Chains A and B, each alone.
Chain A
Amino acid sequence: MTAPAVWVENISKKFDRVKAVDRVSFAVQKGELFGIIGPDGAGKTTLIRILTTLLLPDEGKATVAGYDVISSYKKVRHLIGYMPGRFSLYQDLSVEENLEFYATVFGTTISENYELVRDIYKHLEPFKNRLAGKLSGGMKQKLALSCALIHKPELLFLDEPTTGVDAISRIEFWDMLKRLKKRGISIIVSTPYMDEALRCDRVALMQEGRFLDIDEPEKIIGKYDKKLYSIHTTEPYLLMENLRENVDIQSVIPFGDHVHFTTRKDVEIDPGDLQEALIAKGFKDIAVKIIKPGIEDCFMDLMNIEPQ
């Protein structure tokens, strides 16, 4: 039997009085693409730093590829690739020098594992003599990923690789992760973007140091137990004020050009009736529907806080 890629039991870590990670347990299987989804301050970075042997937990036990992150930290470091949230390559070395440096530290060469990084590094090759500090955000991200991969790790830890990255580069980055997964690399990735959950095999939804849920994204969506209504509108704020006056309606949340709402317990609203009522009140281009929730709906439901 082979060990899981990551195995965590009851890990906690406090900073002063703040519980950054609070009794978290989970396992990641080999070859899995596992997402830790949550806002800033949820504890994602602390958890990843514990698993990458850069921080000691206050309590609990964790193994990576079967090795204890405390007693076998040197072994773990050889098996993993890590891309921190903050760009931390050498700004005053060139693109190629950075990659060469990381290969050398791990006792290998660029040419030995070039195949693994080729897809990503080929975008950088025209700029291989440029200093890393002079690269654009998207290129820094690709270089950091190349450096994390150059020693052919079994596991990859990526801490918020898409934060502050535009919508297109985000899609491209997740496509890259999918290709790496196909090569059998286990990937643990954190992100504050809820929609990225759908790109993972399984996700943990994290908030204030705890996992709210951990499952396949579709199963998390399946567990949402309320009827969710959505209204397309060109005037979301006006519509929300109107809906909040309706005693049958519980939560009202804007989603771009839609407003999502749920009803009080045991109350059902007929979408057609509501649509007519809203049109009678003067709303134009209104369409009321019952919809399947997205991960962001689920996350807010699990947070159990009402937006004001």
Chain B
Amino acid sequence: MTDDGSNIIVVKDLVKKFGTFTANDKLTFEVRKGEIFGFLGANGAGKTTALRILCGLSRPTSGFVHVAGFDVSRHPEEIKKRIGYMSQKFSLYEDLTVEENFTFYGGIYGLSRKQIKEQTNFLLENLKFHKSKEILIRALPLGWKQKLAFSVAIMHRPKVVFLDEPTGGVDPVTRRQFWKMIYDTASSGITVFVTTHYMDEAEYCERISIMVDGRIKALDTPASLKQRFNAINIEEVFLKIARN
């Protein structure tokens, strides 16, 4: 496998088995630096399994997986330092304030006090939220929590941030504000790896992969996939691939 340095994630023949069940069956793909990469698939297709491996939380049964320049089997701790992660389920501490959450996670990521302060101010100002940093997370609507959780996930300037269904259940306006944040984050040089069940959001990705039964069945730009499958939108592409 050659890596010319333009890819932040390189996966070749990734296999993950649980007993006799093959959750990931020879996955091969690359994600470029600064790209917004959509990772789609039906429930049970094996997305979460692959995501956990990419984050260094689980080891592949076989295959080559490099994230941010490190091999997941040999250096998972190095990978964890260089990535960010957020999901709808794992969010912020409800009984801490907004600022306390930033300080806490900044500490976990090993930032200095000065860096924590700078990053907290910078990110909260971007959200126009700096006047409300004393509010408890519990008192905030879901949409705000998700936007803050995203900010926390990138406060240590990771090489790549993994977003696992970040907009599930979020109102339509906030959902779009969230995608604006994704664009801004990617253009600042952080690669975004995102899963979603909203097919309109898949269209915002530079490239998407679609998993079915543990395998990647398609991987390309949304425009090329629509053309190849003769579909009017990604939902139709998804239905055609997953039903076959």
For A293-308 the 0/1 string (1 means CB < 8 A from B) is: 0001001100101111
- Is B171 a contact partner of A207 (Cβ separation < 8 A)? yes
Q: State in angstroms the CA–CA spacing of A253 and B44 once bound together.
A: 32
- Is A254 a contact partner of B179 (Cβ separation < 8 A)? yes
Which residue, of B165, B203, B223, has the highest number of chain A Cβ atoms within 10 A? B203
- Is A166 a contact partner of B42 (Cβ separation < 8 A)? yes
- Is B183 a contact partner of A237 (Cβ separation < 8 A)? yes
* Of the residues A164, A194, A256, contact of B165 by C-beta under 8 Å: A164
- Is B197 a contact partner of A167 (Cβ separation < 8 A)? yes
B41 is an interface residue with CB less than 8 A from chain A: yes
For A37-49 the 0/1 string (1 means CB < 8 A from B) is: 0111110000000
Distance from A100 Cβ to chain B, minimum over Cβ atoms (Å): 26
- Is B171 a contact partner of A39 (Cβ separation < 8 A)? yes
List CB contacts (< 8 Å) of B35-73 with chain A: 41-45
- Is A299 a contact partner of B234 (Cβ separation < 8 A)? no
- Is A138 a contact partner of B199 (Cβ separation < 8 A)? no
Q: State in angstroms the CA–CA spacing of A137 and B143 once bound together.
A: 24
Given A136-B44, A163-B169, A307-B173, A39 contacting B142 (CB threshold 8 A): yes
* Of the residues B45, B172, B204, contact of A256 by C-beta under 8 Å: B204
List CB contacts (< 8 Å) of A50-87 with chain B: none
Q: State in angstroms the CA–CA spacing of A136 and B141 once bound together.
A: 29
B238 is an interface residue with CB less than 8 A from chain A: yes
Residues of B within 8 A of A42 (CB): 171
Chain A interface residue count, Cβ-Cβ cutoff 8 angstroms = 37
A280 is an interface residue with CB less than 8 A from chain B: no
List CB contacts (< 8 Å) of B20-44 with chain A: 41-44
Q: State in angstroms the CA–CA spacing of A136 and B179 once bound together.
A: 29
* Of the residues B142, B172, B204, B226, contact of A300 by C-beta under 8 Å: B172
Distance from A250 Cβ to chain B, minimum over Cβ atoms (Å): 15
- Is A39 a contact partner of B169 (Cβ separation < 8 A)? yes
Given A164-B197, A256-B203, A257-B222, A138 contacting B176 (CB threshold 8 A): no
Which residue, of A39, A41, A253, A307, has the highest number of chain B Cβ atoms within 10 A? A39
A113 is an interface residue with CB less than 8 A from chain B: no
A129 is an interface residue with CB less than 8 A from chain B: no
* Of the residues B42, B43, B173, contact of A305 by C-beta under 8 Å: B173
Q: State in angstroms the CA–CA spacing of A40 and B168 once bound together.
A: 9
Number of interchain pairs (Cβ within 8 Å): 95
Q: State in angstroms the CA–CA spacing of A163 and B226 once bound together.
A: 26
Residues of A within 8 A of B180 (CB): 237, 307-308
- Is B44 a contact partner of A254 (Cβ separation < 8 A)? no
- Is A40 a contact partner of B169 (Cβ separation < 8 A)? yes
- Is B176 a contact partner of A166 (Cβ separation < 8 A)? no
Q: State in angstroms the CA–CA spacing of A139 and B60 once bound together.
A: 27
Interface residues on B, range: 35 or more
Distance from B159 Cβ to chain A, minimum over Cβ atoms (Å): 22
List CB contacts (< 8 Å) of A148-172 with chain B: 160, 163-171
Q: State in angstroms the CA–CA spacing of A142 and B204 once bound together.
A: 32
Distance from B200 Cβ to chain A, minimum over Cβ atoms (Å): 4
Q: State in angstroms the CA–CA spacing of A108 and B197 once bound together.
A: 38
A104 is an interface residue with CB less than 8 A from chain B: no
* Of the residues A40, A237, A306, contact of B170 by C-beta under 8 Å: A40
Residues of B within 8 A of A38 (CB): 171
- Is B143 a contact partner of A39 (Cβ separation < 8 A)? yes
List CB contacts (< 8 Å) of B213-244 with chain A: 222-223, 226, 233-235, 238-239, 242-243
- Is B222 a contact partner of A254 (Cβ separation < 8 A)? no
- Is A138 a contact partner of B43 (Cβ separation < 8 A)? yes
- Is B200 a contact partner of A255 (Cβ separation < 8 A)? yes
Residues of A within 8 A of B202 (CB): 256
B132 is an interface residue with CB less than 8 A from chain A: no
List CB contacts (< 8 Å) of B177-212 with chain A: 177, 179-180, 183, 197, 199-204
Q: State in angstroms the CA–CA spacing of A170 and B199 once bound together.
A: 12
A236 is an interface residue with CB less than 8 A from chain B: yes
- Is A303 a contact partner of B173 (Cβ separation < 8 A)? yes
Q: State in angstroms the CA–CA spacing of A236 and B171 once bound together.
A: 20
Residues of A within 8 A of B176 (CB): 253-254, 307
27 contacts between A and B (CB under 8 A): A39-B174, A40-B169, A40-B171, A136-B44, A138-B43, A164-B43, A164-B168, A164-B197, A165-B197, A166-B45, A166-B197, A168-B238, A169-B43, A171-B239, A194-B172, A236-B204, A237-B180, A237-B204, A256-B203, A256-B233, A257-B222, A257-B223, A257-B233, A299-B172, A307-B173, A307-B176, A307-B177
Interface contacts beyond A167-B242, A308-B177: sample of 8 additional A-B pairs, CB < 8 Å, sorted by A: A39-B172, A164-B197, A165-B43, A168-B42, A168-B239, A171-B239, A254-B204, A256-B203
Which 10 A-B pairs give the minimum distances between C-beta atoms? A39-B171, A256-B200, A256-B203, A40-B169, A166-B42, A257-B203, A40-B142, A136-B44, A192-B169, A137-B43
Instruction: Name A's B-contacting residues (CB within 8 A).
Output: 38-42, 136-138, 160, 163-171, 192, 194, 207, 234, 236-237, 253-257, 296, 299-300, 303, 305-308
